[in-house]
Structure 1
Amino acid sequence: MSLDNVKDALTKTIAGIQNAPNTSNVVFRADTEWVEDVRCAAKVRQFDPITVDEPPELGGKDSAANPVELVLVALGTCQEIMYAAYASVMDIQLDAVTVRARGYLDLKGLFGLDPSVPPGYKRITFETEIESPADDDKLRKLIETVEGHCPVLDILCRAQSVSGKATANGRVLHNLATNAA
C-alpha cells in the first residue's frame, strides 16, 4: 500500500506552516440535531449527515453507533491515520494497522444512581496491531511518535478547557466553563 500521496500532502502542509507559522491554528466543526427518541444527526463539513443512536436498552432503535462508541471510533481511526501519516514521512512500509478500543462505563453514573460514579468512561484501553516488514527499532520509534502526536489520544489523556452555553427560547439559561488543570 503506497502512502506517497499522504507524504506529499503532509510535506506540503508542514512546509506551509514553517513558512507561515500563523497558519497552524485550525477550527474543526460539527453541528448536531436531535431527530427523535434518542436518535440524532451530525453534520460535518460537506458530508452526508452521520446518524447517532442508542441500543434498545438505552431507549434507542440501534440504528447507529452511540456517542461513547464514537469516542472509541475517533481514537482508533485517529491512531490509524497517524500511523499512515508518520509511516509515510518516516519511510516505513505499512501493510496493515488495526486498533481495538474498549471503553468501560458504569451506567450508575449515566443514570445518576450513584454520585460517586462518573457518567463517562472509567477507563479506555486499546490494542494496536501493526503489520510491516520494518525492523523493531523503526516500529518502536513509529509507535512512540504516533502515541506522542495523536490528537484524539491527547484529547482523552489531557484535561481540556470546555465551555458552552444552553439557550431555551432564545434566552441563555446556563453557561458551562471548565478550566484544564
Structure 2
Amino acid sequence: MSVEHIQNSVNGVIAFLKENPKDALSTSPPITAVMEGGLRCRATGDNGQSVVTDMPQAIGGGGTAPSPGWLSRAALASCDATRIALRAAELGISLDMLEVITDSVDDDRGLFGIDQSVRAGSLSLRTRVKIGAAGVSEKILWEIVDYAVTHSPVADSCRGETPSTLEVTIA
C-alpha cells in the first residue's frame, strides 16, 4: 500500500470517529484457546485465524511452536512497528527503514509460583526502534516514534494497567 493510501484511510477513520465518537468503542471478537496435547495450544478467532503455541522442552513442552510469551513480545514489536508506520503515513512521510525489536527481563519463579513476591509477567520490557526516512529530520522521526508507541494498543496493554475480569466455568 502506498503512503497516500494509508494516509487517506487513517484520515478518513479519524474524521469519522471525531464525528461519531460513540462508534469508537467496540468489543473485540473472541479468541478461543484449546489444548491440543501436552502443552501445545491452538488459539482460533472467529474468522478462522489461528496460532499455535508450545512451551520449551525444558519445562515439559514439545518446543514445536513459539511460547505465549514469545508471541506477546512479537505482538508488541509488530504493533509498535505498525503504529509507527501508520503515524508516518498520517503525516505523509514514507519510511525507508523501520525495525522494531522487543525483549524482556523475566523471572520464572513468578511463572511457577515459587516466590509470591515475583510477578508472573515480565519484570521489564525493552523496545528498540531503528527508523529512517530520506529528508526527514531526526526530531520528526523521534516525534513519530514517541507518538506511535504512546498510542500503540499492545504497548499500552503491556505497559499500563488494564482492568480485567476472569470468568470460570467448571465443566
Q: Assess same fold via TM > 0.5.
A: yes
More strand by share: 1
Please give the alpha-carbon distance, in whole angstroms, between the structure 2 residues aligned to 1:152 and 1:48: 19
Please give the alpha-carbon distance, in whole angstroms, between the structure 1 residues aligned to 2:9 and 2:106: 38
TM-score, length of structure 1 as denominator length: 0.86
Aligned partners of 1:87 and 1:93 also within 8 Å: yes
Q: 2:168 matched to which residue of 1?
A: 166
**Gapped runs of 5+ residues in structure 1?**
170-181
Q: 2:9 matched to which residue of 1?
A: 9
Q: Using the TM superposition, name which of 5-14 and 67-76 deviates more.
A: 5-14
RMSD of aligned alpha carbons: 1.5
Aligned partners of 1:92 and 1:138 also within 8 Å: no
Give the secondary structure class of the aligned counterpart of 2:161. coil
Please state how far the C-alpha of 1:39 moved relative to its aligned partner: 0.8
Deviations 1:73-119 (A, max 9, x none): 11100111001111001112201211111121111121122222222
Give the secondary structure class of the aligned counterpart of 2:168. strand
| CA 1:168–1:71: 2 relative to 1, 3 Å | same
Please give the alpha-carbon distance, in whole angstroms, between the structure 1 residues aligned to 2:98 and 2:45: 25
| CA 1:155–1:48: 2 relative to 1, 3 Å | closer
Please state how far the C-alpha of 1:64 moved relative to its aligned partner: 1.4
Q: 1:157 matched to which residue of 2?
A: 159
Please give the alpha-carbon distance, in whole angstroms, between the structure 2 residues aligned to 1:17 and 1:124: 31
Aligned partners of 2:3 and 2:92 also within 8 Å: no
Q: Using the TM superposition, name which of 38-47 and 66-75 deviates more.
A: 38-47
Q: Using the TM superposition, name which of 72-81 and 58-67 deviates more.
A: 58-67
Please state how far the C-alpha of 1:151 moved relative to its aligned partner: 1.1
Please state how far the C-alpha of 1:135 moved relative to its aligned partner: 1.1
Aligned partners of 1:39 and 1:52 also within 8 Å: yes
Q: 1:179 matched to which residue of 2?
A: none
Please give the alpha-carbon distance, in whole angstroms, between the structure 1 residues aligned to 2:114 and 2:139: 49
Q: How many residues align?
A: 169
Please give the alpha-carbon distance, in whole angstroms, between the structure 2 residues aligned to 1:4 and 1:43: 33
Q: Where do 4+ consecutive residues of structure 1 move more than 3 Å?
A: none
More relative contact order, 1 or 2 (CA 8 Å, 6+ apart): 2
Kindly, what percent of the aligned residue pairs are identical? Answer: 24
Q: 2:95 matched to which residue of 1?
A: 94
Please state how far the C-alpha of 1:128 moved relative to its aligned partner: 0.8
Please give the alpha-carbon distance, in whole angstroms, between the structure 1 residues aligned to 2:118 and 2:21: 43
Write out aligned runs for 1:60-71 (5 A): 60-71=61-72
| CA 1:81–1:25: 2 relative to 1, 3 Å | same
**Gapped runs of 5+ residues in structure 2?**
none
Please give the alpha-carbon distance, in whole angstroms, between the structure 1 residues aligned to 2:11 and 2:27: 21
Structure 1 residue 147 and structure 2 residue 154: aligned? Answer: no
Aligned partners of 2:7 and 2:90 also within 8 Å: yes
Q: 1:174 matched to which residue of 2?
A: none
Q: 1:178 matched to which residue of 2?
A: none
Please give the alpha-carbon distance, in whole angstroms, between the structure 1 residues aligned to 2:117 and 2:150: 32
